Structure 1
Amino acid sequence: MKFTSWNVRGLNDPLKRRLVKDFLSSHLIDVAGLQESKLSDPTPRKLQSIGGRRLSEWCYLNSTESRGGVLVGWSDAFSLIQSHVGIFSVSVHLHHKPSNYSFTFTSVYAPIDKEDRAVCWWELDRIRYILPGPWILCGDFNVTLSSDERNGRNGSPSDIKSFRNFISSTSLIDLPLSGRNFTWSNKRKKHL
């Protein structure tokens, strides 16, 4: 099984959708979480232009005022058991037919505002009880676990502490980054 998480920074442009579709197809992605889609009520045709033949099923959180939006797509190797669309996230409890394995996949686009982020942590914590079992949580958290994970200015110590507390209280494991220094670069070459 191959998973990906990508802040796509908008999918209204057909060329951007083609780029995403080509990536998902060429890397044989089975489940994808796409944040900041900036899509509201995407049509089946638009979803197909993103997932192609590879990712045929979708669950989504609409964008609001051209901001945000989260899509989760999966291949037909999975059946959907249950889904939950929150304020900041989309979660799908999937059954992988070939392996008979079930798990929850959550994609989140967390807010920048500190008070809203506390609501986001609460929402994600509730997912553990709504959709039990193994959990893959990915997305754009708009905060890091350490100031070393930032390129340039340091993050707020209270935001870092809040995020660490969330990770710890939910017994999540932060997978190490491999092959580069930062996950987001804004197309800058330096420090990658």
Structure 2
Amino acid sequence: MIIINLNIIGLGGGTKARYLSHLVSKEGADFLCLQETKTSSFSDARCFLLWRSCNIGWVHHEGTNGAGSMLTMWNKEAFEYGSHVVGVGFIAIVGYHLIAKRHCVVVNVYAACNLQDKILLWEALTILKQSYQNLAWCLCGDFNVVRRPEERKGIRGHSSQKKEIEGFNNFIETNGWMDIPGVGKKFTWFKANNTTNSRLNRFMVSEEWLQIWSASKQYVQQRVVSDHCALVLKSCVKDWGPKPFRTLDVWLKEPGFTAMIKDKWESYQVEGNRISVLKEKLKLLKADLKEWNKSVLGCVESDKIRIEMEIENLDGEDDIDALEDEGRLRMMDLLSQLGLVNRKLDSIYRQKARVN
């Protein structure tokens, strides 16, 4: 599945339309999700001209007098429309991907600036996901919030931003969204004078999505027709042939892993010819690896929550100038731990859903 996402800040005249048509053609897009079209109505003719094809479907959300307006378009040769849900700040398209032969949901998101409206949006999307469980989900758009302070530049943090970040991360963790790897620019929104940058735009997917498109990455494009960069979601899969069992890169970085594998392998007592012995020992190793992974890496998510809560408490002490040197050293240690945990989770999320 190839999806293009952009906050276009007004579809305007021919320059933006030509840019989008070129990007759709170059990437071979299945979906195009636009925010801030600033247009109260659309027609088949305008959408056909934008995609340079009449074999497309589309849903437009006009917002309020064009403000908050969104447009989602899709290629009918790749995606069979089933239904759609339009709410404040989102368009959800439910259907069937004809090539992957799987049902999926693609959600175009445009979040408001104030926290209360964001909370309502997160709650609405959480309820919607519960109505379409076990489908492959993809969320894309302008979420108007970052996941961590380093995703902003030139903006001083304050309490409301901390609440936004905490609420957004809770929304992601509650629904099991996976913030897939990005390629290209670190930031996706740039102020006109380039003094302020943020990563406001992103793709997030469900585990079911990665079971289909396991190598999904989001590619940040050059900023051309908007103060936001276009993002392209695509999966570049190489078939290396069948695997005897699933492996995770993060295992190789875990202390004692290699020694554990060696000890387990030497402990298996199997008789038969070389091929049958190898097959049976791999089966035994697969079972042992499953248990080892559960005991060693199964608590990574809970570790992350625990670390983030302790960091938040120390931040609170720092806000009132009550954080002593010991607390600052503890903060540095926790940030280091959090970085390690996040790297483990990112690695696991990228590989855990690989199709055997």
Partner of 1:25: 25
Question: C-alpha separation between the residues in 1 aligned to 2:15 and 2:31?
Answer: 21
CA distance in 1, matches of 2:81, 2:116: 32
Letter in 1 for 2:38: K
Distance change >3 Å, CA 11–CA 189, structure 1 → 2: same
Higher mean C-alpha displacement, 136-145 vs 32-41: 32-41
**Highest CA radius of gyration, 1 or 2?**
2
Give how far 1:8 is off.
1.0
Q: 1:150 aligns with which of 137, 152, 162?
A: 152
Residue identity in the other structure for 1:104:
V
Report the CA distance between 1:45 and its aligned residue: 1.3
Q: Please report how far the alpha carbon of residue 147 of structure 1 lies from its aligned counterpart in structure 2 after TM superposition.
A: 1.0
- 1:5 aligned residue: 5
Measured after TM superposition, the shift of residue 154 of structure 1 is: 4.0
> 1:95-124 CA distances to partner (integer Å, 9 max, x unpaired)?
112331111000100000111111111111
TM-score, structure 1 normalization = 0.91
Q: Which runs of 5+ in 1 are unaligned?
A: none
Secondary structure, counterpart of 2:165 in structure 1: helix
1:112-167 deviations in Å (ceiling 9; x for gaps): 01111111111111220233311101110000001101121145111111101111
Check 1:59–1:167 CA distance in 2 against 1; reply closer, same or farther (3 A cut): same
Q: Identify which of 144, 166, 170 aligns with 2:171.
A: 166
Matched residue of 2:153: which SS? coil
Indicate the residue corresponding to 2:99 in structure 1. 98
Other structure's SS at 1:9 match: coil
The 2-side partners of 1:95 and 1:154 are apart by 44
1:114 equivalenced with 2:115 (yes/no) = yes
Alpha-carbon distance, 1:65 to partner: 2.6
Alignment-derived partner of residue 136 in structure 2: 134
Bigger fraction of residues in strand = 1
- Note closer, same or farther for the CA distance 1:58–1:182 as it changes in structure 2 (3 Å cut): same
How many residue pairs get aligned? The number is 192
Unaligned runs of 5+ in 2: 198-221, 223-356
Distance change (3 Å), C-alpha of 1:99 and 1:12: same
RMSD of Structure 2 on Structure 1 (CA): 2.1
Compared CA separation, residues 185 and 55, structure 1 to 2 (3 A): farther
Q: CA deviation at 1:176?
A: 2.6
Letter matched to residue 161 of structure 1: E
| Residue identity (%) | 27
CA distance in 2, matches of 1:154, 1:80: 44
CA drift at 1:188: 6.4
1:51 matched residue in structure 2: 51
State how far apart, in whole Å, the 2-side matches of 1:154 and 1:147 are: 9
**Which of 10-19 and 114-123 deviates more?**
10-19
